[in-house]
Amino acid sequence: MTVSGPISGVKVLEFSGIGPGPFAAMMLSDMGADVIRIERPGAMDPTPDRIDLRGRRTITLDLKDAAAVALCLELCASAEIVIEGGRPGVMERLGLGPEVVLASNPKLVYGRMTGWGQFGPLNQAAGHDINYIALTGALHSIGTTDKPVAPLNLIGDFGGGAMFLIAGLLAGLIHARATGQGQVVDAAMTDGTAYLLTLCYSMLAGKRWTDQRAINTLDGGAPFYDTYQCADGHWISVGSIEPQFYALLLEKSGATGLLTQPQMERAAWQEMKEALAGIFRTKTRDEWCAIMEGTDVCFAPVLSLLEAPRHPHNIARQTFVELDGVTTPAPAPRFSATPSTIQFGPRTGRYGATETLQDWGISTRRIEELVSGGILP
């Protein structure tokens, strides 16, 4: 197939992991990169629903074998980007740490994806998204007055993790191509999540945010920035922050005469919220969509994962596509001159290892040696 995308031709070596590392590798592939994924022996073959593993050719290697490590070093010499997500020190013990790799390929951008970062008192501790966002103040700020609520694993793994890894890798790639100097990108989910909270910390410093849950403008405390249940049990969302949008919310909902308090009178927010809740329970979600959707109320229905691909806006933009019979979000963002493309679905480590290595400059004789030595199947 013809590969398109703004980084078409960039070679990326991905050491298998979970969560943000594979997601970042998927994004790079969608943007046109040639990504090889190094998988562990015994790993299950990916099924079509593992859409996060799309677009990469996979080679299965036992990195406890010196010959397999030597092959990885050969591949690193041809790569511009490496991605790994092990605990700090794991790659060094394997002989594939950044000092070794950069010594043979000084232009390489070596991306390291962890939760706690490469240094710090917690860097060797196990953890997951919920723990990383807890340490930064994000989890404390999300939920009800009764308890923090985990916001899926969107904030730590993918927002604070993969997105910052991608930004670092691409910035490092620009620098390496301009100067010939590679570097290590230390992408920690705690760092990235804290960075995402910049606006909240700004408002906290300016005394426009209270360090409590569900009493602020953007955390569900405000009646005009919340979700409401409808007559049919479905939910809608409103985000009418600006005064003109709030006035339109009152008009469209029929609450103009009922909610006479000033919009920003916090002492009245609970009463205002209860009034709006009563109003929204009088109609179905579809009825409220007919009244408010597409207006400046700042309104949207709360759709399930099954419903979202069927919404007319998502259909028009082709936000979701079919890949091997599986509904998957399409690549984002969109490029006008070099559109991203899903190259292919998930592939096993037995698919075309010889051709993959040849494409990366490994000689036929060397491949034959690897096969006869039991390094490759």
Query: Which one is catalytic: 30, 157, 186, 191?
Result: 157
Residue type, 168: G
| 318 CB burial (10 A radius; 0-12, 13-18, 19+) | exposed
Distance between CA atoms of 1 and 329, rounded to whole angstroms?
21
Query: What does the DSSP 8-state code read for residue 336?
Result: S
- In the set 45, 128, 175, 311, the catalytic residue is 128
Q: Is the dihedral of CA 83, 88, 89, 94 positive or negative?
A: negative
Compute how many other C-beta atoms are within 10 angstroms of the C-beta atom of residue 109: 29
Asked if 49 is an active-site residue, the reply is: no
Q: Are strands 225-229 and 81-84 parallel, antiparallel or unpaired?
A: unpaired
Helices (H), the chain: 20-30, 66-78, 90-94, 98-104, 129-136, 163-179, 189-196, 198-205, 243-253, 269-280, 285-292, 312-317, 353-359, 364-372
For residues 48 and 78, give the distance between their C-alpha atoms in angstroms, rounded to a whole number.
29
- Do β-strands 11-15 and 81-84 pair in parallel, antiparallel, or remain unpaired? parallel
What is the radius of gyration, based on Cα positions, of the chain? 25
CB 327 within 8 A of CB 262: no
Q: Please answer whether residues 165 and 132 qualify as being in contact, where contact means their C-beta atoms are separated by less than 8 angstroms.
A: no
Active site residue 234: no
Q: Which residues are catalytic?
A: 128, 157
